[in-house]
Every structure is written in structure tokens, then in C-alpha cells.
Structure 1
């Protein structure tokens, strides 16, 4: 079995951050969200991975992932020159996939607990497709599946106005080669895309069995700033203290705190869970819980909590920053009248707050 990881989306809901950095590389607890998916693929025993990339984000993803050897994977890059839908991405990968069964994983998704059950069900039952589902409070924003009494999918509709179930399709699938024939007969949806939900519906209409694996594990599509901050909190809740950098005697660390090699903490209070990346500097500051400070970041005479700082960001003299996502190489300084701040800043910004 091969894997197809889709990493070509533009991340329009995360602009301006995604003007300069792919959404799949936005860090969760100082690790790109794409890396969690690649690790899940590896942990499921799959070694050959095709990564679909496209547009301006392609070079950055290639640079970060490389040949995949750091993950124990053999990576092949497949170019989708314009975003024409998930089924279109499968279509451009057809030569790479050949006649193999394959896992498809959306690179901006996070699923706790792995994908072993999904793959095992597919191998045991041998359907044409096995689809991961989860219950959601408002299914109208998702592809929605309807099941029969045997747990097979008998219908799937993309973003229905009147959903027939609360089971959302969450972006992890296993397909046999039968899906290629279904995709070849698709026409673009009202969005101008070839929808993977339409391909699944075509399999069902052709009498092909489509299985469902319903998970209750934590899952997030990292499509908004709120999703990313919530996921960062979830992941940080699982860390353990590790201090490889320098922490002086005037500093106080409580809770789970990661201080990566080369990071320096002086005269500061850090209340975990907090992750400091390599080379980060924290001086005369207070870091509250659920904060990730990226590599090479600087926090001086400031307070920040429940936030993410991307590599190279600087904060100095700011009384409090909360629930914020600070882009790469961004500089935030204090104005004359300090107060509470909530920020979403693009890369290479300079902002004075007051």
C-alpha cells in the first residue's frame, strides 16, 4: 500500500500568514502539522508516499520534508498546477499509484490515535474504499455520510443544507484502484472542482462497497487560527518537561516545559505547558500556559500566553499578548499605553501596539 498526502491547498482562511508560508507547515507545538500526518503514515507501516504539492508553497514543502528519510519514508513529489479538487489530485497521481491500494491523507489535518484501525478494516473487509468519519455538531460544513445497518456508506453529500447524519468525512481514506475509474467519469462540481465525495458517491452508485470507520479520537482540520490555537493546546497537554537549553537561577519553570537546545531563559517565569524552540531567548518575561515559541524567537520584558510564535518572531516590552498567532520574523513592540492585545500577524510584519 502507498500513501498520497495532499499538501497543495492555498489556506485562504489563514491569510495573511499563508501568503508567505504553506498552511501545512504552520507549527503545532513547534512541529509543522504536516509532520504529524507523515508520522501517522509511517506508524501505520506505509513507506512509499506521494506528496501532492502546487503553487508557491511547493518549494517550502520540498525543503522541509526532503526525500522523506527523516521520517523513515520514501517521498515522491507530484505537482498539481492548480487546485482543482481532491479527486483531481488523485487523478494526477494515477501513474505513481498504479494498481496499488492507497491511503489518502489531507496534509493540513490532525488525527490523534493514528490510522491503524482504518487500514486494518480495509485489509480485512476489502471494500473499494474505506472512509474515516467522525461526529460533528454542525455537519453542514463537511462532506456528510449516511450509513446502512451494516456500517457501509450508502450516501455522501458535500456540505448539505439538510444533513441526513452527523457523520463528517474528515480527510483520511483508503482506496482500491476502483476509484480511478470513478474519478475518470466525474464532472466538476459547482465549485469548479472534482470532488472526492462525488467519486465515493460514484462507487456507491456502481454497487461498489464503501466501508466506514467512525472515530471518536480528537481531530482537527487546521483551516482557521482558532483551529490552530486549539490544536496547539491539545498537543501541548501531552508534553513532558525537557530542558536541554539554559535556564538561570532567577527563572521559575512550573508545569511541563520544553526548552530546546540553544534556547536561553533568564529572569523569567514560565508556566507550562510551554514549548521553546532551538535558539529561542526569553528574558525578564512571563510565558503563560499553552504557548509555543519557535526557533530563534525573542521575548523580552513581555507577557504572552495561549499563543504561537513562528520562527524568528520578536516581542519586546508588551504587557500582554493572548490567543495570538505571530508570523515568522515579525516584530511586536510596545506603544505608550499598554493594554490587552489579540493579534494575527503575517510574516515579516512590524507592529507597534498600545
Structure 2
């Protein structure tokens, strides 16, 4: 079995970060989101992985290389612009050949990984197998209607009146039959070849499409809020470890990971927190669920439930929370300007100004 990982989307909900980098490379606990997907595939015993890349192909190639570091063999497949998940399958035809494969959205985080799903797909073949999860608002997702035996009857994309609460997670298993389906469908109203349309095409022609349901944590990290929540979840499983320098005037509480080359001085850090190599935390308070990237500076500040990308600087900030601060960004207090009052006062008025 092979895998096809999609890492070519524009990430419009994460702008401006995705103007300068791939959303799949944004960090969760100081590790790119994409790495969690690749590690999950390797753990499932998959070795041949195709990564569909777009505008930020060079950045992804530099970090993931040929896949050796993950125990994988990676092939890069260029998509000139994001034209839908089914289009990604279409351009990967030569790489996929006639093998069964997993399709994995590279900006998704799935706590349980895909080992059980991949084993089931191999042991009980079907034309397609979908991983689903119950959600509170299915109208925001692709939704599957499933019969009591686990057969998928119908798929809908963000329906106004959902037929079920089972949302597509973004992990699929396909047989080679999908290649005929992606060639047969036409672009949707938004100009994309939708994988849901391809799967529905298979269902309409009597092919067997199965559903697997999970209630384990899953997130699409396509927004700042979701990325921070995944960061919180991953940090909940963090083990504390201090390899960097922590001076006697600092206090570490709970599970705190200080990477080699990082410095903490005169500060209080309450975990779970991860501090990357080369980062400096000075005279500051760092609260739970914060990831501080490599070479960051946090000085005379208070911060919690936030993610700092490599090279970010936060100085003199009274309190920051629920924030995503980009690479090389600088946060400092504004200069104090002389106070002034601009008045338009009618005849015979009285105005009392503070001295």
C-alpha cells in the first residue's frame, strides 16, 4: 500500500502566515504539522509516499528530504494550483500505479494515527474506505450517510440539512477503481474536482464504499484557533526535559521541555511548555500550552496558550494569550506619546480636563 499526502493548498484561513510558507509546515509543539502525518504513515508500515506540493514546494522538500528520516521513500508531485483533492489523485496516477493507497490531508492531526485504519483497509478490501467522526455542526464538513452495516450510501459537501452527523476527517483508503472515478467527474461550482464527487460516482455504480468511525481527537489545523487547540492537545502529552540552561532565579512548574541551547533566566514557566533550541526566555512568565520556537526571544513579558514561530521576539508585553506569532515577528510596546485633547466646544460650555 502507498500513501498520497496533500500539501499544496493555499491555506487562505491562515493568512498572512501562508503568504510566506506552507500551512503544513506550521509548528505543533515545535514540529511541523506535516511531520505528524508522515510519522503516522511510517508507523502504519507504509514506505512509499507521494507528497503533492504547490507554491511552497521548496520549503517542504528542504524539511522532509527524501523521507529517509521518517523511514519513508518520498516522491514529490507538483500541482500547479489547488484544483481539488480528486485532481491531486489524477496527477499522481503514474506514482500510484495499480496499488491500493491512503489519501491523507497533510494539515490534519489525528491522535490515533492511521495504523488500524490501514490494516483494516488491507484486510477487508473495498473500492473506497472513509474515516469519519461525529461532529456538532456537520453543515461545515463533508458528510456521509451510512447504513447500519457500515456501507456509505451518500456523500454531501457542507449540506444545509445534513443527513447525519458523521464528517469526513480527511483520511481515505482507495483501490485503483478511484482512478476511473476521478477521470469521470467534472469540476464543482468552485472549479475543483471534489473527492466526494468521485466517491459518490463509485457508490452510484454499485462499488463498495465502507465507513470507519472514530471518536479520538482529530483536527484540521486550517485556522489559528484549531492550530492552537491541536498545540494544546499535543502538549498535554509532553514529557518534561531540560537540556538547555535554567538559572537559579527561574522556576519551572510541571512538564517543561527546554531544548539544548535554550536559556531561561529570571523567569517562571508553568507547563506544559516547550522551548526550542537557541530561544531565550528572560524575566518573563510563560504559562501553560505555549510553544516557543527556535531562536525566539521572550523578555519582560507574560505569555500563555500561544505559539511563537522561529525567530519571533516578544519584549515588554504585559500579557499575551491565544496568539500565533510569525517567523521573525517583533512585538514591543508602542512609544509613549504626549497626551493631547482635540475639542470642539460650543459657546458658554465648561470642560474639566485631568491635569
Structure 2-normalised TM-score?
0.94
1:8 is matched with which residue?
8
Output one character per residue of 1:187-223: Cα deviation in whole Å (capped at 9) or x when no partner: 0011100000001101101100011110011000011
Counterpart contact for 2:5–2:51, Cα < 8 Å: yes
Q: Distance in 2 between matches of 1:258 and 1:334?
A: 28
Structure 1 stretches of 4+ moved >2 Å: none
1:76 aligns with 2:75: yes
2-structure distance, mates of 1:120, 1:10 = 32
Q: 1:52 — aligned with what?
A: 52
1:272 Cα deviation after fit: 0.4
C-alpha separation in 2, matches of 1:63 and 1:98: 26
SS at match of 1:334: coil
Q: Matches of 1:128 and 1:75 in 2, distance apart?
A: 25
Aligned to 1:37: 37
Name stretches of at least 5 consecutive residues in structure 1 with no aligned partner: 338-354
In structure 2, C-alpha distance between the alignment counterparts of 1:241 and 1:196, rounded to whole Å = 41
Equivalent residue number for residue 127 of structure 1: 126
Alpha-carbon distance between aligned partners in 2 of 1:67 and 1:249, rounded to the nearest angstrom: 43
Counterpart in the other structure of 1:340: none
TM-score (normalised: structure 1): 0.94
Corresponding position of 2:207? 208
Could you say what secondary structure the match of 2:332 adopts? strand
Separation (CA, whole Å) in 1 of partners of 2:185 and 2:310: 42
Cα drift, residue 149 of structure 1? 1.8
RMSD over aligned Cα, in angstroms?
0.8
Aligned to 1:25: 25
Matched, 1:192 2:175: no
1:295 aligns with 2:286: no
1:156-199 deviation per Cα after TM superposition (whole angstroms, max 9, x unaligned) = 11111111000001100010000001111010011100000001
Task: Return the offset for 1:336.
Answer: 5.3
For 1:123 and 1:71, locate their aligned partners in 2 and report how far apart those are by CA, in whole Å.
22
Aligned to 1:165: 164
Q: Distance in 2 between matches of 1:124 and 1:328?
A: 44
Deviation, structure 1 residue 335:
2.6
| Residue equivalent to 1:262 | 261
Residue number in structure 2 paired with 1:345: none
**Structure 2 alignment gaps of length 5 or more:** 337-355
Post-superposition Cα deviations, 1:51-70, rounded to whole Å, max 9, x if no partner, equal 00012x11111111111111
Aligned to 1:344: none
Partner of 2:241: 242
Q: What is the CA deviation profile of residues 297-352 of structure 1, one whole-angstrom value per residue up to 9, with x for unaligned ones?
A: 00111111100000000011111111100000001111357xxxxxxxxxxxxxxx
- Between the aligned partners of 1:40 and 1:153, the Cα distance in structure 2 is 25
Aligned to 1:62, the other structure's residue is in SS state: helix
Structure 2 SS opposite 1:67: coil
